[in-house]
Amino acid sequence: MKIAVSATGPGLDADIDPRFGRCSYFTVIDPDTMEFESMENSSAAQGSGAGISTAQTIAGMSVNVVLTGNCGPNAFQVLSSAGIEVVTGISGKVGDAVKGYKAGGSQATTQPNVSDHYGTGGGVARGTGMGRGMGGGMGRGMGKGRGMGGGMGMGGGMNSGMTPPSAMPPQPQNPKQEIENLKAESQMLSQQLSDIQRRIDEMENKGK
């Protein structure tokens, strides 16, 4: 068996990247021996179709299971058609996630849990929230996007304002699922803030 995990960096101690199609790295692991191979996700910077492209790459690697924070409908369809089990709502460290799955602590997802533009600005509005933009430069801002009940939105884009609800109907969540989704969203927000700060530092250093 091979398990592919979306990650923010290489190795088993890296954090889970809550994004599937635009994750920074993938680590493919044999859960029996914990031998692994980490690789950068070449589809992460694509303008569109990143989820499909990433899913096709994973499907070509004879992977049996994908562990990730969130997976949109296009990527989910490609993975499911290839017979790959998808488990969303995963957070924490890569190695711990694989051990948890092996111990039976994670269950397969039967449907995508975000829209096909999650992480790039399309987002899913849940509850009564509409995504409120917190725009930033260089296309890395936290603009219109995914409202979580109260309406805190995040995703790509440079505009602030109201995001129309996604065509994808909101799915009922139990408290555990909601907690995992909030953890995954918090991780993605932290990663985006880190990317923004790194870009600011690069630009300030060039200006010196």
At 129, is the pLDDT very low, low, confident or very high (cuts 50, 70, 90)? very low
pTM (2 d.p.): 0.56
Q: Where are the domains of the chain?
A: 3-102, 126-207
H-state helical runs in the chain = 50-59, 73-81, 94-102, 175-207
Phi, psi at 192, each rounded to 5° = -65, -40
Least confident of 22-26, 98-102, 150-154: 150-154
- Which architecture, in CATH terms, is 3-102? 2-Layer Sandwich (3.30)
- CA–chain centroid gap for 107, Å, is 17
**Quick one: average pLDDT of 146-154?**
41
For the chain, give the percent of residues with pLDDT over 90. Answer: 38
| Per-residue pLDDT at 160 | 37
**Quick one: average pLDDT of 6-32?**
94
pLDDT tens-digit map of 167-192: 344 445 566 666 766 666 676 677 67
Provide CB contacts within 8 A for 189, sequence distance 6+. Answer: 142, 154
d(CA 155, CA 139): 10
d(CA 8, CA 17): 5
| Per-residue pLDDT at 186 | 72
At 36, is the pLDDT very low, low, confident or very high (cuts 50, 70, 90)? very high
Identify the residue with better confidence: 148 or 78. 78
